[in-house]
Structures are given as structure tokens and as C-alpha cells.
Chains A and B, each alone.
Chain A
Amino acid sequence: MTIIHNRPLDDIAETAPTLAGNAFTRAFSGGSLWRLIGMLVLILILGFLTIYPLAMLLYGSLHSTPPGMAGEFNLNGYRSIMTTQNLIVLANTIGISLAKTIPSLTIAVFLAWIVARTDTPFRGTLEVLITLPFFIPPILTAMAWGMLANPQVGVINMVWRWATGATDPLVNIYSYGGVIWHMCQYSIPFLFLFMVDAFRAMDPSLEESSRMCGASRWTTFRKITLLLMLPVLTSSFMLSFIKGIETFESALFFGLPAGIKVITTDIYESINHRATPDYQYATSLSFAIMGLMFLLVIWQWWMLRGKSFQTVTGKGFRPSVMELGPWRWVTFAFCVLFFFITVVLPIGQLMLGSFFRFFGFYTYDMLTLEHYRNVFANSEFWRAVRNTMVLGLLGATATMALGAIVAYISVRTRWRGRNLIDSMAWLPWMMPGMVLGVGFLWAFAMLPGPIPIYGTIWALLLAYIALGTPVSVRVMTGAYHQLSYDLEECSRVHGATWAQTMWRIMVALAWPAFAVGWVLTFFGIMRELSASILLYSVGSETLAVVLMKLWANGNAEQVSVIGLMMMLLVIVFRWVQLSFIKARISKL
């Protein structure tokens, strides 16, 4: 069998001094000085991107005034968050996040398995289509769901009343269910994207042998497939759960009318809706949450400690799919249903609405192309497209490169400090975006004058890299966990240089994950507003800033036009990426 059954990393270290099989390590083994310097540089980069802005925020939480103002150090911020009210809100937030993470993860795993491991028809097309909602600005899907599922005149409820004669609405989006549903709309495609390549890269011989030993499909799925996916699954769970704690669009849009409060709406209010913004309160609350979240990271380390999940090995890697027989139409139907509910319904609304003067008023005399014309004629929009493309391309590439290095060191070496850089890379994910945005503002603006970052496009780029690093590291960690050491050893034995080994093995085999991470990061940058609005300068507007301006001025239809164009771009990107993956896999 190809798997090195739970061969712990410690074993490798013991049996092979300085990890003889590891090309990267050996490349540096000539001088541990170089390794030390490399690590130091990495720690410095990560420190500047993550620790420095967080340190500014920590200062904010411990000081009576924000940086640059006279005040005193005190614990008033932390004292003021210790209220019963906040405890209830925290419990509520955790409940909501769990209620969205568990079903999201279940559905995403199922979808990833269908797309990557079964012979379900049209799975290639489905793979692109079911992820689309993730790439639409949340405010747009919120608006669309508001129109579909409001209790008074929502389309779904109108149809329901018409069909059944009922007077009560079928669904009400302004409720706990609505908040959770809107969050799922984002977390399912995100988790799917995050996991699907791990499923694809799995050696099917393990599943086959399980089946041959008499295990049922279900048992095989549970005991082999899921277990092998443990690093990816735990990472997914944490990314999604933590994001769930921090998301606030859904709660603000659908929760506020129903009196639902979460931690982030409280933070939002303390910055934006108090007489004077209370940064000490906002940052203290964020750090308290961050502390709790870090416990989760420690839990994951503990879970994965000493285990190996290598499924991509030197022997007979043949990614094949499970033949489902007639059941493939059931899995197909599931995907189509999912696509219909999460994509066709909301995005159909946006598309339809973009051709009428006003959303929801679909009469002949309201038909117009004016929103498209206005968007195309808007010079600020084009400038923002250019800026965002440059930032997206540079940012996503740099973020993934950084993520790949951090993940490589933390997964595949035993270097001192690898846990440090791994946890540093987690940090930005644990701070709510709007607070972290303030952290970047303070950090970059307070740099000494000669360092030209604040007020330039570099400030945005650095913030985006920091914000994207957690995902990039997680994606690459998952991929590296799956690659067996014997591949590197084999390559070296056959006389390949270190660089060749890196390129042919580590890059070539992990690159589907790299590509997915790249797309996730790219569109993360495209959507990022909290930091952008605080860091952009005249001339360096990003698309998210332009969208915010249009939305604030009531041009929802124009925002939709741009949202739809972003979606088109996603389809192109994903199509290129997937055809590339297929080409590579067939070469392997």
C-alpha cells in the first residue's frame, strides 16, 4: 500500500538525521547559518505584516486613546467588555457560527466528494457553477435574498401563497435562519473550493482496498476518505468557524431587524455609531475573541500532532473516480438543486434587475441598459478596475508564494521556529476585518516619514498580503500534508538538483492547490473593503471602494452590474484553471 501508515514526523527525524530525505532541508544543510537567516527574514516579513498592525491594536486596547493622542495606559477597555450582555452576545455568536459551519462543512464535503471522486455527469461544469455565489459581494446577495424571502412580498412567499392559498409566509429571511443561510451562501462554496483539490489528489487505492476488505461505501467514506482528509477538514472547520464569528454583513442586514446581535455588530457599532468611536472597546473585544479563537488552533495542532496524511506518493498515483451507477443521477440532482437554490435564485434576481430601472419592478417600460452604460462610462470605475487587477495579480501571487513557503516549512521541515511562523500566519484571520483595517491604518500611517508606504498603493498591497496569508497557508498546508516524503527522496536519488526537485515535485504536485488558493486570494482582494477604505489614496481607489460609493448613493443596480462582471471574470479564471489542472493531471 502506498500510504506510510501514520508514520509520524518524529520517526522521520529520528531515523533520518537532519531529515535526509528532504530536499529543501538538505539544500540549506550545508550551512545552518543560511537557514537561520532565511527563517529570520521570514519572521521579519510576517512580523511586519501581522504582528506590527496587531501590536498597534493591542496598544489601542490598553491605552485610553488611539495611537498619536495623549492619554494613559489602563485596562478600562477590557473591563468594559466584561458584561453579562456581551457574554450572551458571545454565546449567540458562537451558536450562529456553529449552526452555519457544521451544515456548510457537511454539504461542502459532500459536493467536493461528488465533484472530485465520483463519475457524476457534468461535474466539471458543476464545479465552476456551484462556487459562483462566493465571488459576489455579500451586500448584493443580501439584497437579492431580501427580495426573495421577505415575509411580506418576497417572491418565494408570494409563490407559496399563490400555490397553497396560505396566508402565512413560508420563509422569513429576517431571522436567525436567514442570517445563517446568508452565511452558508459564502461558506459552502469557500469550503468546497478549499477542499476539492485535496479530494482530487487522494490516492483511490486506499478506498479500493477498504472496499475489497468488505467495508461498505459509507464505512469507506467515513473511515478512509474522511480520516485522510483530517488536516483539510480541521483547517476548513476552523477557517469557517472563525470567519463565522467575524462575519457581520449577514447579521447587520438580516439580524438587526429581528433584534439579533452578534459580536461584530457590537464592534461595528462601537466604531461607527457611537457619539465618538470607542477604539479601546472595539480592540479589547477583538483581542478577547482572538484569545478564544487561538484555543481552536491549539486544538488543531493537538489533533494532527504526530500523524501523517500522505496520500500522494511515489507509487502508482492514479486519481480515478468511483462509479456510482444509477446513483450518479442522484448526486447530479443534488448538485443541480444546490446550484438552483444558491446561484440561480439570487443571481437570477441580480441579472434580471440589472436590465430594469429598479430592482423588483419588472415592467416593460422600466427596461433599460442605462445601468450598464453608466458603469462603462464611469472613468473612476475603470481606474478602479486597473488598480484592483494590478493589486489582485501581484497580491495573490505574493500571498500564495509566502503561504507556500510558510506551509512548506511548517509541514515538511523540523526547523526551529516553524510553529511560530505558522501561528503568525493565522493571526490576521482572527481579527475582525474592520478592526484589522484600523490596525493597518495605524501601523502604516505611524511608520517614520521616509518609509513611503502610507498613502501609496503599497499600503493596500501589504494589507492584502497579510489578509490573504491565513488562507494561502492553510491551502498549501493541506496540499503538503498529502505529499509523501519518498517523492522528494526519489527525485534526489535520481540525481535531480534541489531546484529541480522543488519545481517538479513540490510545485508541480501542489500546484492545483496553489491555483485554488490564488483564485480565493485574488477575489478576496477584489472584495476587501474594511482595510481598503482606510488605506486607499486619491487615484488608488479599488473596486470595493467604488462599489461602496455606488451602494451608498443608492445605485444598487449599477453595483449589480459590476458584481455580475466580477462573476464573469471568475468563470473565466476557473475555467482556465480547471482546464490547466486537467492537462497537468493527464501528464502526470
Chain B
Amino acid sequence: MTTNTSMTSAIQKWSRRFFMAAAGSLAISAAAGLPAFAQDAEWQKVVEAGKKEGKLILYTALVGQPSTKQIAAAFTKEYGIEVEILEARASEIRERVRVEQAAGRFAADVMFTSEGQTMLYDKEDKSVDPLPVTPNSQKIGDKFKLKVPMASVMTIPYGIMINTGLVKPADEPKSWKDIADPKWQGKILSDDPRAIGAGYLWFFSTYDKIGEDYVKKVASQKLVFTRDQRESQRRTARGEYSIYMPVIMTDFSDLKGLPVKFIIPEEGVPYVLYGNVMLKKAPHPNAAKLYLDFMQGPVVQKIYAGLGYGPVLPGMTDGLPADVKAISEAKLYGTTDTTRQNEMLAKSKDIFK
């Protein structure tokens, strides 16, 4: 969740373009009195045009997720529009888009990325278009209607993982605060908080919500740093460390059968909000609008909820198995704020020398 201070500063930086988009969406939501069929007719035109375009080029910064293909297949089934997907890590794909556009190559329609990256796309690279108003964009939870031009799709929750062979049930940490207990000294493997990534996300949210003293206490725990999320989970499972944090909670299903347990901290889960942006001069603009809408609709929202991600559309977790439901519905604790990144990275480097 964005804090009030950062909200204010971000609001001050609203671009004019965005302001108009926001105004547009306000107008639509206020237009309950308008005949519904007028909006439907407009949307129907987009559907027809999108189908005619027949193709969508999707860039995604969420690398290697099988759900991406599953969703693309569902989209093709719904609209008959083929989806071509290009995957690369966040900084790589962002530079590709930037340089492609600078060279006049407008190759991609939609980018699936995080809220923080979207701000960079929007403010620094100016490579994105304002968001269209689509039927589903009105239905998502209010806190996921953003100031940046990103159509929110889901949240990735982060928690604590323990090795059940090394940690007795009575000793299990239940909250982020428990991590600071001296008994864990030298036993925690942590994603590196000094570089953009999961560790930094943990640092950012706990620093803001619990405070500097807490973070300093954790720093004195002799954390061992790593930058490989998945391999670190395995290392902890094999018994190198008692605790790995912060762990991507949705990975729990991939590790079933290993002596590990995923814990949702009492305070809540730091999270990264992912969503779609419309890239400038998209070659298939209508297909792109359909895709943005589709990703916020119940089909995709249920797919994500079923994997443990937090859906942005309410009521998507009904009927899920209890363990998945708990993760998918976990209380959202905090996320990073791109506008404060330099300041916070410097702080983290100072604390975790």
C-alpha cells in the first residue's frame, strides 16, 4: 500500500496526460445515468476492431511463468486474437522498449510489468499511452486504481520460509518482528536488500511500518545475502539455513514435498503490484485494449487467485483450497515507492554494509 506522504508527492507529479485519463475515467464512472447500451456499443466497436487486428504483441517482465501462456491461450479462445510473447527481465525489457521506440520501431502493444517500473516507463521514458477505460477497469478494487497508467492485474505476496527440519513448530517465526530475535543469528538467508528486488521490498515496507530500529536489529543478525530467489529456496530446503526471506509466497505449490513451510507474517505481506501498460503507438491498439480488459476480468483473475496471487477483482477466491486462499487473501502490508528509491537504497546500503 502506498503511504499518504508518497501519495501526496505522487499526486503533485501527475502529468497532464494522466490527469486527462483520470478525468475521463471519473466521467465514465459518474455516468451511471447514461444508457448502458451506449457504452456497450462503444466497447463492441473495440471488440470488432481488435478481432480484425487479429494479433497482439505482449512483452512481459514476469519471466518464465507458465500462467502467461495459459492466459494468452484463454484470450485467444475468447477473441480469436493470437498472442506473441516476449519475455525478459525488468531492466532488459524496459531498455528494449525504450530504444525500439526511440528508433521509431513500435513493435509491442502491451507490457506486463510492475507498478514501480510503470512509473519509469511513464515519467522517464515516456513510452506509454494513457489507459483506456474498459468495462472491467471499473470493477476492480479501488486501491488498485492507480495514478500511474497501469491496469492493475494482481499482487505478488512475499513472506517467510522456514526449514521444518531445523525449526521446531514452537520456534516458528510468526511475524516480521520475530525475525529480529537473536536466536536466528547466522541462520537467515536473505534476498539482498541493497539492490532492487525482494529483499529491498521487505526493507522498504518494514522500515516504513515498523521502523529503523527494527531493521537495524535484523541487520545485526548476520544475514547471508543472495540474489537468486528460487535457488535460495532450495538451499534452505536442503538445510543450509533455517529461514529464507522474503520468499515469493506463490512458490509454495512448487516446493510441495520438501521440508519447508511458508509463513504469512502477522503484519501482512509486502507485495509487488503487477499490471499492464499500453505502449505508445501500439500496432494493435484495439487488441491491446481487449487484453487489458481481459486481464482484469474474472477468467484471468481466477487463474491468478488459484495460484496464490492477490486478485484485484473482488470475490475471486471463493472455493479455493484453504492454503491457496490464505495466501491469495493475505493482508497486503506495503510496497515500494519509486519516487523514494534512491533515498531508500542508500539507507539500505548504509544499514546492511
List residues of A whose CB falls within 8 A of some B CB. Answer: 66-69, 143, 146-147, 150, 152-153, 174, 252-253, 256-257, 269, 271-277, 357-361, 366, 438, 441-442, 445-447, 449, 454-455, 533-534, 536-539, 545, 548-556
Contact = CB atoms under 8 A, between A and B. Distances in A.
Contact of B95 (A256, A454, A534, A549): A534
Nearest to A363: B257
A360 B86 CA distance: 33
A449 B104 CA distance: 8
Interface in B229-269: 229-231, 233-235, 237-241, 251, 254-255, 257-258
A103 to B, nearest CB: 27
Closest 6 CB pairs of A and B: A68-B102, A553-B64, A273-B195, A554-B230, A275-B341, A549-B64
Nearest to A154: B240
Contact of A366 (B105, B225, B257, B338): B257
Given A67-B99, A357-B257, A553-B63, 6 more contacts: A69-B98, A152-B241, A256-B226, A277-B94, A536-B86, A553-B65
B303 interface: no
Most buried by A among B86, B91, B239: B86
Contacts of A366: 257
A275 B196 contact: yes
B92 interface: yes
A533 B66 contact: no
A441 B99 CA distance: 8
A289 to B, nearest CB: 21
A441 B233 contact: no
Interface in B214-233: 224-231, 233
Contact of A361 (B241, B254, B258): B258
Given A69-B102, A275-B342, A554-B233, A150 B240 contact: yes
B105 A455 contact: yes
Given A442-B99, A553-B64, A276 B120 contact: yes
B87 interface: yes
B20 interface: no
Nearest to B69: A380
A553 B107 contact: no
Interface in B57-86: 57, 63-66, 84-86
A256 B251 CA distance: 24
B235 A554 contact: no
B261 to A, nearest CB: 16
Contacts of B224: 174, 257
B45 interface: no
A470 to B, nearest CB: 24
Given A147-B238, A256-B227, A454-B105, A550 B99 contact: no
27 contacts: A143-B231, A146-B235, A147-B238, A150-B235, A150-B240, A152-B241, A256-B225, A257-B225, A272-B89, A275-B338, A277-B94, A358-B237, A358-B255, A360-B234, A445-B96, A449-B105, A455-B107, A534-B95, A536-B86, A537-B86, A538-B57, A545-B87, A548-B64, A550-B64, A552-B64, A554-B230, A556-B231
A421 to B, nearest CB: 29
A138 B157 CA distance: 30
B32 interface: no
Interface string B337-353: 01001100100000000
B178 interface: no
B347 to A, nearest CB: 12
A283 to B, nearest CB: 13
B98 A68 contact: yes
A538 B257 contact: no
Contacts of A252: 227
B95 A441 contact: yes
Nearest to B241: A152
A541 B7 CA distance: 40
Contacts of A449: 103-105
Contacts of A555: 64
Contacts of B235: 146, 150
B195 A269 contact: yes
A556 B258 CA distance: 15
A276 B124 contact: yes
A168 to B, nearest CB: 15
Given A554-B230, A554-B254, A556-B230, A273 B102 contact: no
B197 interface: yes
Contact of A358 (B88, B234, B239): B234
Contacts of A539: 84
Contacts of A455: 105, 107
A256 B192 contact: yes
Given A68-B98, A552-B63, A552-B230, A273 B196 contact: yes
Contacts of A533: 88-89, 92
B240 A152 contact: yes
A279 to B, nearest CB: 8
